[in-house]
Amino acid sequence: MRTRIMQAAVEAMQEHGIRFTMSDLARRLAVSKSTLYAYFSSKEALVGAILEAIAADIQKQQEEKIQSSSTSLPEKLRAMLATFPKTIGPLNDRIIDDIRRHMPNEWTKIEKFRHSRWLITEQLLQQGIACGLLRPVNLAIVRAMLFGTIDELANYQFLVQNNLTFRDALTTVADILVNGLATGQNKEE
């Protein structure tokens, strides 16, 4: 039932943003509000659980790519920069912006997740630099560029004005970062 509630909440968010109500969700699922509250203490707790499930899904996909010996370094970097949830979601671009603007506690959790994933991305970049696949660059600048870009992409108005989805924009950022850093040489070969 927990997963069913979460998936229905994602559908409600697709339609109404984070402004959906628990009453609407109860009607959608044909259950009582008390049933919802038996699983989630509040709407924010429900949204938090959805975000945690999405983060776990993304992390699992990324780790599978990173641990695979058949995955190239550029593919691992792309996985770290542009992996999207498969099990729950997807959340549309407006929802991401709504969470950023209206649910600061949940946005802080998203930020912590992003920062934890940066540590792995940084290790991959260091490996690429060490083997000559990537040019030596200041990784603090790469981090600032990446996080600044993602923050701008989380702005729904930017996406609308440029006729982009968050997925397309993030995939493009990953492509630019990976291919823009590539030297075409690998000292390991």
Is the CB of residue 52 less than 8 Å from the CB of residue 2?
Answer: no
Q: 110-145 pLDDT, tens per residue? A: 889 988 999 999 999 999 999 998 889 999 999 999
**Lowest model confidence (mean pLDDT) among 33-37, 77-81, 152-156:** 152-156
Q: 154-172 pLDDT, tens per residue? A: 777 888 888 988 888 888 8
Report yes or no on whether pTM surpasses 0.85.
no
pLDDT at position 43 is: 94
**Lowest model confidence (mean pLDDT) among 56-65, 87-96, 176-185:** 176-185
Q: For residue 182, what are the β-bridge partners?
A: 134
- Across 63-182, the runs of DSSP E, i.e. the strands, are none
What is the share, in percent, of the chain residues with pLDDT greater than 90? 51
What does the alpha-carbon distance between residue 154 and residue 142 come to, in Å, rounded to a whole number?
18
What does the alpha-carbon distance between residue 82 and residue 119 come to, in Å, rounded to a whole number?
15
- Residues making up the chain, counted from first to last: 189
pLDDT at position 6 is: 95
Tell me: pLDDT of 183 over 60: no
Tell me: pLDDT of 17 over 90: no
What does the alpha-carbon distance between residue 93 and residue 99 come to, in Å, rounded to a whole number?
10
Cis amide prior to 74 (ω within 30 degrees): no
Closest-CA residue to 18 (of 73, 86, 96, 89): 96
Tell me: pLDDT of 89 over 70: no
Tell me: pLDDT of 64 over 80: yes
Contacts of 56 (CB under 8 A, 6+ apart): none
Give the confidence band of 49 by pLDDT, cuts at 50, 70, 90: very high
